[in-house]
Amino acid sequence: MANEKPDDKLPDLNYKVREIKHLRGLGNFDSEVDLMIERMNKIKPFREKELIIEAMGATRAECPFDCETWACNMGYWQIFQLDGHFSKIFLTHAQVRDVNGKPAFNWDEFNKLAKKGITVYNTHKVKGLNSKMYPYKRLSQKFNTDYFSNTISYMVALALDEGYKKISLYGCDMMTRSEYAWEKGGIEYWLGRGEGKGKNDPNYVEIKVCDGSTLLKTITGKPYGMKYFNLKDIDPTGELRKKVKAAVPPTTSTGFMYEDPIRPPDPQMTPYVSIVAETFGNAGRPANK
């Protein structure tokens, strides 16, 4: 969404994006489509059953475009600028309007893509758009679910249906707390359907998520219950621990910041509760009773 900003309180996710110092000036739409198809033909035939899903987040710049690639929404202009390619493009909208009230989708451009042999999928029938209906009903019945939280989840589901054995995702960053946070779980669900029961599963699909995406990562970047930093790394002499401990009075009978009736508190983490509270506010701290 236009007014969203990356969440600066997320952990370090090894965010790496290829530096593009000189983006070439783009030509008109028709010439860019012709150039794209020329680039795509140079790497055909594609590696069998290998797919890239290229979305519109910042990590799209890391995409190598070295196998078949699918795009979504208006991402084709971004792909043109990266000298990439795509064989299919996905929509899950009729028409939407930008903040100025202008149509966001240019149906003429999508129709030109279709005329050049690019498959345009949509979950809606749109007057004036030459698109192919997404097989929603068939896939919902096949996979026994209607859990599609965004366009990317539809794309992953179709890739599983078509038998791809390796799916790489670029630009699927899901880095904000509003719409993308709500949609993130749906993508992860379908990626889990691909990985299935592991590499010994005959239906196993290798999943690759590029660095910088929050997909398949917890908020700390570590599994739940695991320490996500080493106190000795940030306080090697123990001096900070002493100061914080002195500044944070005990609030329960045990002297810890809270009591968990099931799991005892971690004495190593107790002195740092005030730092966490200062950083994140009171979210997550139980009320004293």
Nearest Cα neighbor of 135 from 107, 160, 164, 109 is 160
Mean pLDDT confidence for 99-105? 85
pLDDT of 136 strictly over 90: yes
**The pLDDT of residue 250:** 56
Report the run of H or E that residue 205 belongs to, with start and end.
Answer: none
CB 258 within 8 A of CB 230: no
DSSP annotation of 17: -
Mean pLDDT confidence for 185-210? 94
In the sheet with 88-91, reading across from the earlier edge strand, the strands are 132-133, 119-122, 88-91, 68-72, 50-54, 166-170, 206-209
Q: Of the ranges 52-61, 112-121, 259-268, which one carries the lowest mean pLDDT score?
A: 259-268
Backbone angles phi, psi at 159, to 5 degrees: -65, -40
Measured CA to CA, the distance from residue 73 to residue 235 in angstroms comes to: 48
Q: Identify which has the larger pLDDT, 213 or 243.
A: 213
CB 286 within 8 A of CB 258: yes
Measured CA to CA, the distance from residue 226 to residue 29 in angstroms comes to: 50
What six digits make up the tokens of 112? 């030109």
**The pLDDT of residue 23:** 58
pTM for the model stands at 0.73
Q: Of the ranges 11-15, 88-92, 182-186, which one carries the lowest mean pLDDT score?
A: 11-15
Mean pLDDT confidence for 14-40? 75
Nearest Cα neighbor of 70 from 61, 62, 79 is 79
